[in-house]
Each structure stands twice: as structure tokens, then as C-alpha cells.
Structure 1
Amino acid sequence: MRFLPEPQVAEHPTRTGLLLVNLGTPDAPTPGAVRRYLAEFLSDPRVVEIPRPVWLPILYGLVLTLRPRDAAKRYAAIWMEEGSPLAVWSRRQAEALARELSGRGAEVEVALAMRYGNPAIATSMAQLREAGCERILVLPLYPQYSASTTATVFDAVGATLARLRNAPEIRFVRAFHDDPGYLAAMAGRIQAFWQAHGRPRKLLLSFHGLPKRSIGLGDPYYAQCQLTGRLLTERLGLDAEQVEVTFQSRFGAAEWLQPYTEPRLKELAADGVAEVDVFCPGFAADCIETLEEIAVQGREVFLRAGGRQLRYIEALNDDAAWIGALADLAERHMQGWPTRSAGAPSALAAGSA
């Protein structure tokens, strides 16, 4: 086995690092950048669990030929001045989290990584090591655990560690679907929106979908989504008639978790439900699945089916309550590690992301 050269360890060899990880995004809203991103993402055997000899010819012969151009247009429609919304909001979360932890007196280096695309997990882990971090907490920004999301982060971190001779101590946050701070931040986000704009007849909690087969194989994702939905409904003081859990972003011909968000929007409109709000608890930061698939496509579908108004409630993004909840979550998982030594505030703060 070939080991990577060891980074030069900084003056503080007992520093603690925190690695935030989100899914990833193309570097630009162009067909070429989208093609590179999708090639990495969709070639992961945890993401698409079709036998490689069957899937790879489809991926490279059909999907990567036809899909990037259309996807690039969708990305361009939501692209922010600073870049992709997912990258922008994830970076702001990392920066705000570094400030929050520093304000609490915790000396923790915070870095951001993307599971697919840039900055890569190996790159951000190297930055933490160069800053002298001998202990790293890995916090995937996926509230609900799935093999196709959280476990792929574990895979990438493990692959990076396998190439290091002097590996740091590692801890992982597996899931936080029932975390009180996460639930409170979401409830506060929704209630603040309703206070400003009024409450609708129906609230959809739309989670990213998974092939139904994944649940049969033991993935806890569906159960965790349902629990998040129930706990959030209770915090909002609503009943089962006012809130529904649905699943979006279906890909391919296989059966996925149901009910599907888009068909359910059509049914609600046909049943005379004129106003629907949609919130996406599984997305910690706004991205193409929320801003384009729900706020644009979902709204168009609902209005064409006879609905009067669909409002998308923004993701937690850099909401102060959410940043506080993230800091609480991180501090709980870093208990016993040296985070209170004297020193300067975090220099990384995901600034190079």
C-alpha cells in the first residue's frame, strides 16, 4: 500500500477538528461541469445499487449524454452570485458554526467538504491535519441516515484514512433526525414564515426519496423520516390532517418511497386544497432539489392542477437557531476531547471551501 506523505503538523498537535460534509454540487451551471459531477455521484455503487456491468453502460452511454444539458439549465436558473446555492449555504453554515463555537470558548477548527465535487473530503481532511488536528468529528449534514448518503461519507473518510500512516482519531455523527435543537429550529422557521404570511390548509414535509428496495434491505431512512415528520408536527401543534410526509426526486423506473410529492400535489389541487406550503426537513441547505424541483416545478404542477398557491418555506440554511443546534450537536459528540485550550479563534472556518 502506498501511503500519502504526512502533512506538517502545526504548533498545536492536540487541536480538534470538525468536518461538515454535504452532498455536493457542480462547480458551474454548465453541461461540462454537471457531467463531471454526475459521473462521480452516479457511479458510486451506494447511490445506484444496480450491478456495475448493467449500470455503467447506461450511465456513460445514455444518462451522461442526455441529462447534463437539461440539468445545467436548471442549475443556471437558481445559481447565486457567489455560486451554487448548496455550496453557498453550506459554506455560510460552516463559517457561522466556527464563530458560534469560538464564541462559546471552544477552540475547534471547522472545515467544509462535499461528498462529490469540491472541496473533496480528502482535501478538507488534509487542511484539518495541517492545522494540527489530531481528532476530527465528521458531521454529515444529512439528518436522516441512509446508506446512499451518510454511509458514503463514512466510505470516503475511511478511504482517506487508509492512505495515511499517522491517522487522526475519528468520530462520526450518524444521524440527528430526532435531535431537539434540529426540530426546534425547523419549527421556528415554519412558524416565523406563517406569522409573516399566514397558515395554509396543508403542509407537506417533502423528503428526498429512496428506492423502496433499500428499506427492505435494512435502511432506516424511511422510519427516521416518519419520526422526524411526527415530532415536527407535534412541535407545530398540528394534527395528521394538516401535515403529510411525502418523497421527491425519484430517479429511474423502480418503485421509490411513497407518496411521491409531485403526484400528491396534483391530488391535493384536484381535491380542492387551494393553498399548500412545502418544507423539506431532510435538506439542511437549499439546493436544486428545493429551489428548482419544489419552488419552481412543484408550484407549476400544483397551479396547473387547479391549486391557487404553493409556497416553499426555505431550508434552515444559516438560521441562527439551526447554527446553535449544530454547535450543541457537535459539542455533545466531542465530549472528552480537548476543545477548551487557550488560543486564537478558528483560522479555517471553511474559508477555503
Structure 2
Amino acid sequence: MTLTPGPAQKETRKTGPLPAGHPRVAPPKVGVMLVNLGTPDGTDFTSMRRYLREFLSDKRVIEWPRALWYPILYGIVLNTRPKKSGAAYDKIWNRERNESPLRTFTRAQAEKLAHALQSHDQVLVDWAMRYGQPSIESVIERLTAAGCDRIVMFPLYPQYSATTTATVNDAFFKVLMKKRWMPATRTVPAYHDEPVYIDALARSIETHLATLDFEPETVIASYHGIPQSYFRAGDPYHCHCQKTTRLLRERLGWDEKRLMTCFQSRFGPEEWLQPYTDKTVERLASDGMKSIAVFNPGFVSDCLETLEEIAGEAGEIFHEAGGKNFTHIPCLNDSAEGMAVIEAMVRRELSGWI
């Protein structure tokens, strides 16, 4: 991605007085990096295998001992899962741009944030992926080469987990460890209970429900799951998810039956956070519920887990179990509500730097 500064204006941060005859020093810049999980470059077997190898080799994601996990990963998973995952990605692929929706939305978020910050011409906005391209390292190199001696790095995860926020931070600082001249840095913390985020979710739900010709009896907040063992080890993710839902209930004036919390996308033999989204959707339909809505407050952008797993698979499960009306409420993506959240979090961390 090309760096996107705003129009030329007077610099607000100076380099300080220079001795007579000193070569001109370019005014320092402030970089802003939006970082999301990642995406394969294509839906073919090779691209999927490359992406899954990087993702599933991360010790933050799979905490099993390497001696136990690697024979499974390289002997089974990377020989079978790429084809299945590629077929799933193919259902949601952005064919116009030949890329995944996550890449499309993350780029759009960076471009719109750059526009929102255009009055600060010393700010450069870019975006990266934890797994896949553009890599965190390539974007750091691009920002520092452009003169950024300060960087705000924003892991795009509302709820903190070691499997998401922490691994982005790991990768970011690992790159900086190799630099002799390191930029000053700030990382954006979790924002699961920020009023601007809760309000954006509430308004997106209200707007979507207003377009329907039916009234959902229940709305499910479906978060990506993590193994129970990670939660017991001290990961705050479960608590953050529960707080987001609770605050959203208060904002919407709903009770626990009207707005439920569930967890999706489990992997492997371990027990994960419950209740499981797919099992809950099936149970609700089997119990006679005819109309539900599902949304994904833990995802900043629509991706495989929201478009294929929820909008697609969860809808099929509900209908096959006897349900009638199913709707998936889109993520905030690069909507006005979603950008208000991103801009608010970034402006807070830029305070004192611009």
C-alpha cells in the first residue's frame, strides 16, 4: 500500500535548532499502523498451506508442546486443511480485487483513517497483517523509511487475547529488536468497553434490524472462541466478551434472553469457551424458535469466520433444524460507525504527538 499523508501543511513538530551549514533534515513523521489477523494470497492449495503454516505455527495460537503439535501440523493438518479452507475462502473471495474481504476492508479502513487525519500532514497511515501480506516488518520498514520516528500500532481486536492482540505485539516488537535506531512506539489497547465502540455496535444492530420484514426472537453475539485452558491460565478474553455483551444489552435496553453470548470457530480436541454458536443455533431452532439474528462483535471486519461460518453455515444449521428466518448482521467494517471507533482510538493514542 502506498503511504497516505494528508495535504501539505506547516509541521507541528520541529527537529530543533541546527548548526550553521547543517544539511537539511526532513521533518519527522508519525506512523499509524492498522494490523489485522491475516489472509492467504489465494484460495489454491499452496497459498492456503503457506498461510496456515505461519498461522498455526504461532505459539500464541497453539500452545501445545512443539514435539506434540508439529507432527500433527506437518503430518496431517497442512496436508488436509488447505484444500478444505481454500474451498471455504472461495465462497467469500472478492473476485473483483482477487483477494479476501479482510484485505479489502482493512485497506479501506486505512484509507479512510488517512482521510480523517489529513489535517495532520506529519501523520502517515498504513496497514499490515499478522500472518500473510503485507507483513508487519514490511510496513515498519516503509514507515521508518518515510521518516517516521514515532509509530502508533493498532491491533484491530476489541477484546484482548494472547492469541490475537499479544501475538501482534510480539511480531511488532520482534521487528523493532533488529533495528539500531528504533522509533518511539505506542500500542492501542483493547477497547471492548469503550462507549464509542458499544454505541457503534448498537447502532449497526438497530439499523440492520430495521431493514428486516421479521422480528428476531433472539440476537446472538458470536465471538471467536479460545480453549478453556487459555482462559484458566489467565487470558482475559472471556471476561472482555462478556462485558461487551453486557454493556450492549444496557445500551439497547435488552435482557439476557434477547441478547446472548456464544463462541465459534473451535479447533482440535480441547474444550473451548461455551456455549458454542453452532450448537446454540441448532438448539434454538429445535426448541421451536423461528427467527434469530447473529452478529460478530469481536471481528472488526467481515472475513471467513463471519461470512462463511456464520452467514453461511450457521444459517444452514438453523434452517435444517426447523428455523425459518435467519439474518447475519455485518461487522462494522469501514462503515461510518466503524471508522468512528478506529479514529477515536487512534486520536487518543496520538495525543501529544500531533
In the alignment, the residues of structure 2 paired with residue 94 and residue 12 of structure 1 have an alpha-carbon distance, to the nearest angstrom, of 24
* 1:41-81 C-alpha deviation (Å, 9 max, x unpaired): 00011100100010011000000001100110110110012
Give the TM-score normalised by structure 2.
Answer: 0.91
Unaligned runs of 5+ in 2: 1-23
Matched, 1:181 2:196: yes
Matched, 1:60 2:74: yes
Q: Which residue of 28, 32, 47 maps to 1:33?
A: 47
Q: Structure 1 stretches (4+) deviating beyond 3 angstroms?
A: 10-13
Question: In the alignment, what sits opposite 2:171?
Answer: 156
- SS of residue paired to 1:102: coil
In the alignment, the residues of structure 1 paired with residue 195 and residue 282 of structure 2 have an alpha-carbon distance, to the nearest angstrom, of 33
Matches within 5 A, 1:117-136: 117-136=132-151
Question: In the alignment, what sits opposite 1:96?
Answer: 112
RMSD: 1.2
In the alignment, the residues of structure 2 paired with residue 106 and residue 258 of structure 1 have an alpha-carbon distance, to the nearest angstrom, of 47
Aligned residue identity for 2:266: R
Question: In the alignment, what sits opposite 1:305?
Answer: 321
Matches within 5 A, 1:274-289: 274-289=290-305
Contact 1:75 1:288 in 2 (8 A): yes
In the alignment, the residues of structure 1 paired with residue 249 and residue 122 of structure 2 have an alpha-carbon distance, to the nearest angstrom, of 36
TM superposition shift of 1:232: 1.1
- SS of residue paired to 2:163: coil
Distance 1:266 1:336, change over 3 A: same
Question: In the alignment, what sits opposite 2:278?
Answer: 262
Q: Which residue of 50, 62, 70 maps to 2:84?
A: 70
TM superposition shift of 1:319: 0.7
Q: Which residue of 46, 51, 69 maps to 2:60?
A: 46
- SS of residue paired to 1:148: helix
Unaligned runs of 5+ in 1: 1-9, 340-353
Aligned residue identity for 1:84: S
* 1:262-305 C-alpha deviation (Å, 9 max, x unpaired): 00001100111101100000000000000000011111111111
Question: In the alignment, what sits opposite 1:168?
Answer: 183
Aligned residue identity for 1:30: D
Aligned residue identity for 2:250: E
Contact 1:206 1:247 in 2 (8 A): yes
In the alignment, the residues of structure 2 paired with residue 130 and residue 22 of structure 1 have an alpha-carbon distance, to the nearest angstrom, of 22
Flag the structure with larger Rg. 2
Contact 1:101 1:107 in 2 (8 A): no
- SS of residue paired to 1:276: strand
Contact 2:282 2:317 in 1 (8 A): yes
In the alignment, the residues of structure 1 paired with residue 121 and residue 270 of structure 2 have an alpha-carbon distance, to the nearest angstrom, of 47
Matched, 1:109 2:124: yes
In the alignment, the residues of structure 2 paired with residue 49 and residue 118 of structure 1 have an alpha-carbon distance, to the nearest angstrom, of 24
In the alignment, the residues of structure 1 paired with residue 128 and residue 78 of structure 2 have an alpha-carbon distance, to the nearest angstrom, of 24
Question: In the alignment, what sits opposite 1:236?
Answer: 252
Q: Which residue of 213, 226, 244 maps to 1:210?
A: 226
TM superposition shift of 1:237: 1.7
TM superposition shift of 1:106: 6.3
In the alignment, the residues of structure 2 paired with residue 252 and residue 284 of structure 1 have an alpha-carbon distance, to the nearest angstrom, of 25
Question: In the alignment, what sits opposite 1:351?
Answer: none
TM superposition shift of 1:184: 1.2
Question: In the alignment, what sits opposite 2:8?
Answer: none
Contact 2:28 2:122 in 1 (8 A): no
Identity in percent: 47
In the alignment, the residues of structure 2 paired with residue 321 and residue 200 of structure 1 have an alpha-carbon distance, to the nearest angstrom, of 22
Aligned residue identity for 1:20: L
- SS of residue paired to 2:312: helix
Give the TM-score normalised by structure 1.
Answer: 0.91
In the alignment, the residues of structure 2 paired with residue 199 and residue 139 of structure 1 have an alpha-carbon distance, to the nearest angstrom, of 36
* 1:129-166 C-alpha deviation (Å, 9 max, x unpaired): 11111100110001000001100011101110111000
